[in-house]
Structure 1
């Protein structure tokens, strides 16, 4: 194509290869080219062609998007992501995707946009379905449901707040990975004129805006106290930025808007304590070892897991994780998925999922290789947690958190070590929930799928007393 910019990226290719500990022959084999050809690319004697850009993006999804690429390369990558939907069968070779992007760019752009609209429509249909079948009479979503869905549609990443928190964190942390309690207290007192009181008489955190008094319960773990300070600091220092996001959300009720403001303050507090670039870089170096990350950033296990699920910044994405929190009754009280796995919107999650066992076994990490009915496989880590109440009169909170990714990212996830990812029998067959799971032979099924007619044979009894068409 006339006027098309040629891309020479020898230094980036060499850095990528050395970072991954690959020989030229190894990387050449992954890219389907000869070692001499790779040598010429690394010496900038030859430019990268669209097919190679696509292969690099496919082989190194977390490294290559950070390198320079043209519009055609990005379009080919977007095509690949859209065509990875289980709706489509089989894979299209990288060179064909590159040719589609080059020869029919307008058609490719509209296909990508159409698929994105299809996904959004499906998500909204689930939301309306949930509202219509909920217990509330008018079928409208409750405030917390509306806010939960807003975060889901935002892909759990709010760019202006994340960047503002990262900038503020840079000023506070003084070369450390994360601002410590002293830095947060100092900024609250000196920059925002807030007086701090540590007392267990006013809940976990109470702020008096007229007097400028912030009261924090000292009975909380240190990382929880620190998060409460960060929440209030974000609420005050970045109030205008957070308010602008709330006003643009167009939520139905005042309660929804208030709840979104509080949720965005929590989001911004996490971004303040775990600033994006520093946290993303460290997470990759540690292969997403949650305990090590929590030690370095002074955060709790749950806070660290949650932050990993928000790393969705354009041009600097983290591993696409799903994250959830499940209580003792099996209720999913937090959830987000940057993967193709979607959580149950009705009732509990699949009983075969390891997170339910983790609730009963606190402070122990369980790992599972699971396969959903669409054939996708996920590496899942779950840990049971106990959050102390600070008093004998209040029971501690017991729950589990889970974090996982698709197996194509298993090399970046330390919890996948030791799992037999290639075996056809090593994966646990899970579903989203019994309500929509099509598996006919599951011994753990609680009730039949809602879209199938049940079949009862009075002369035959299995573990489940019915079959379905």
Structure 2
């Protein structure tokens, strides 16, 4: 059987115009000659696997998986594997695309082996983190089990996401208004919505009386939070069977963890309902992931928009691989997910050099940072301090910060990278996961020595820390 030949000159030309490049600039980006690019655009030559891979790598949000054949996807995966700092001392094979074409089975096995290695390293890191932080038996609390379940799922729940997108299309408004959601709750599920304030004592943010069909919301909450809780209640009722099915199939140890997962899945579906996948991804690309513009467009909070960006993991329609976290005033990571190679500490504090810690103390201001982890991977991240009002002087407001970032290769599609010198490796702040796991020996911000390294103490010599890491 002959090999499939891909002619996509019109798509290639449309892509070039969409990103605002002339043929010469486009050729430079792809590593091609101008004449070869012209032949591709005029369908005089087919797009090879190597060219498709270059397009997917250079324009990850614009060259969709449907346009890339299996060989190009395999080659892209192999290039990502070979970019791992684990192989930094190896010469990059010039004929990699030819090797992948000639030995596809071997390439697939190598890619799976590397994925298994990454998973094993992550599990080892969890164990090391637990041991170094004196967590008894390395046991996980129910909320930690649920947090790790979402991480293993890639922070994407396909059936719920698709069902929420279909319901949003049926409701037919952008953004979804409170009145529209309340109307659906009343007409389809017989649920009335009321607000409670100080006269009710100290009401919870949300309370649902199933017997009476009554949803009570705290009057003091911001409009975005109120809309989210309405969407949460609608998701619980509309997608009850789907949520129950996912929960039943989850490998969780306790009933508490399963109940927490059900709540988490309803929250996920609420975000997917307010920010439908296809439309949200399209707008995120168009606005270069400008959070403030996205949140206004969809009527959500800054944190909700950041979190939603970290869930865009649908096969064939992926968004930028982001990491996302929320950090409180004490430095605790209370929400996290990473679709990048960066992982977060599960126990103990995070690296003090992350910009997110500074952002907690400076609310309503966006900070940006170019950072590099010990494995040599560089990231662009933005962080913003947020204050969630309590509605009463007697109750302190919640103060925390959120951070969103991507690997430097995606910087051109991330508006917050515009003022950073991403090409200058020396401009990156050297960060780690946590002090107990970070191998850097010369960090002035170190709080603890690394758990797997010996230290030397000289009573006649004192530097920033009173020991030297060996």
TM-score category of the 2 structures, normalised to the smaller one? over 0.9
Following TM superposition, where does structure 1 have runs of at least 4 consecutive aligned residues deviating by more than 4 angstroms?
Answer: 90-95, 128-139
Deviates most, 42-51 or 60-69 = 60-69
Deviation at 1:377, TM superposition (A): 1.4
Match of 2:287 in 1: 286
Secondary structure, aligned partner of 1:179? coil
Residue deviations 1:369-405, cap 9 Å, x none? 1111222211111111110111222111011111111
Match of 1:326 in 2: 327
Q: Among residues 159, 178, 199, which one is paired with 1:181 in the alignment?
A: 178
Match of 1:117 in 2: 116
Deviates most, 368-377 or 277-286 = 368-377
CA–CA distance in structure 2, aligned partners of residues 437 and 380 of structure 1 = 19
CA–CA distance in structure 2, aligned partners of residues 227 and 75 of structure 1 = 40
Secondary structure, aligned partner of 1:319? coil
Match of 2:469 in 1: 468
- Say whether 1:13 aligns with 2:12: yes
Residue deviations 1:175-206, cap 9 Å, x none? x2x31111111110111111111113331111
Deviates most, 45-54 or 9-18 = 45-54
Deviation at 1:40, TM superposition (A): 1.9
Match of 2:424 in 1: 423
CA–CA distance in structure 2, aligned partners of residues 212 and 190 of structure 1 = 12
CA–CA distance in structure 1, aligned partners of residues 263 and 171 of structure 2 = 22
Match of 1:310 in 2: 311
| Distance change >3 Å, CA 345–CA 138, structure 1 → 2 | closer
For structure 2, the 5+ residue unaligned runs are none
CA–CA distance in structure 1, aligned partners of residues 8 and 59 of structure 2 = 15
CA–CA distance in structure 2, aligned partners of residues 337 and 280 of structure 1 = 18
Secondary structure, aligned partner of 2:381? strand
CA–CA distance in structure 2, aligned partners of residues 437 and 220 of structure 1 = 40
Contact conserved, 2:364 with 2:386, CA < 8 A, in 1?
Answer: yes
Secondary structure, aligned partner of 2:186? helix
Contact conserved, 2:130 with 2:347, CA < 8 A, in 1?
Answer: no
CA–CA distance in structure 2, aligned partners of residues 136 and 408 of structure 1 = 36
Match of 1:196 in 2: 193
Deviates most, 367-376 or 451-460 = 367-376
Aligned ranges 1:171-250 → 2 under 5 Å: 171-174=170-173, 176=174, 178-200=175-197, 201=200, 202-250=203-251
CA–CA distance in structure 1, aligned partners of residues 32 and 84 of structure 2 = 28
Secondary structure, aligned partner of 1:380? strand
| Distance change >3 Å, CA 451–CA 137, structure 1 → 2 | closer
Deviation at 1:137, TM superposition (A): 4.9
Deviation at 1:425, TM superposition (A): 3.2
Contact conserved, 2:378 with 2:408, CA < 8 A, in 1?
Answer: yes
Deviation at 1:455, TM superposition (A): 0.4
Q: TM-score, normalised by structure 1?
A: 0.95
Q: TM-score, normalised by structure 2?
A: 0.95
Deviates most, 258-267 or 310-319 = 310-319
Contact conserved, 2:30 with 2:51, CA < 8 A, in 1?
Answer: yes
Deviation at 1:139, TM superposition (A): 4.3
Match of 1:258 in 2: 259
| Distance change >3 Å, CA 303–CA 145, structure 1 → 2 | same
Deviation at 1:100, TM superposition (A): 2.2
Deviation at 1:83, TM superposition (A): 2.3
Aligned ranges 1:68-79 → 2 under 5 Å: 68-79=67-78
Secondary structure, aligned partner of 1:29? helix
CA–CA distance in structure 1, aligned partners of residues 85 and 272 of structure 2 = 33
Match of 1:29 in 2: 28
Deviation at 1:138, TM superposition (A): 5.4
| Distance change >3 Å, CA 67–CA 356, structure 1 → 2 | same
Deviates most, 254-263 or 189-198 = 189-198
For structure 1, the 5+ residue unaligned runs are none
Secondary structure, aligned partner of 1:379? strand
| Distance change >3 Å, CA 99–CA 297, structure 1 → 2 | same
Deviation at 1:131, TM superposition (A): 5.6
Match of 1:107 in 2: 106
Contact conserved, 1:131 with 1:141, CA < 8 A, in 2?
Answer: no
Residue deviations 1:248-295, cap 9 Å, x none? 112111001000000111111011101111111111111111111111
Deviation at 1:136, TM superposition (A): 6.5
Secondary structure, aligned partner of 1:316? coil
The CA RMSD over aligned residues, in Å, is 1.8
Deviation at 1:42, TM superposition (A): 1.3
Deviation at 1:298, TM superposition (A): 0.5
Q: Which has the higher contact order (CA 8 A, sep 6+)?
A: 2
Contact conserved, 1:12 with 1:67, CA < 8 A, in 2?
Answer: no
Aligned ranges 1:35-54 → 2 under 5 Å: 35-54=34-53
- Say whether 1:382 aligns with 2:383: yes
CA–CA distance in structure 2, aligned partners of residues 143 and 64 of structure 1 = 40
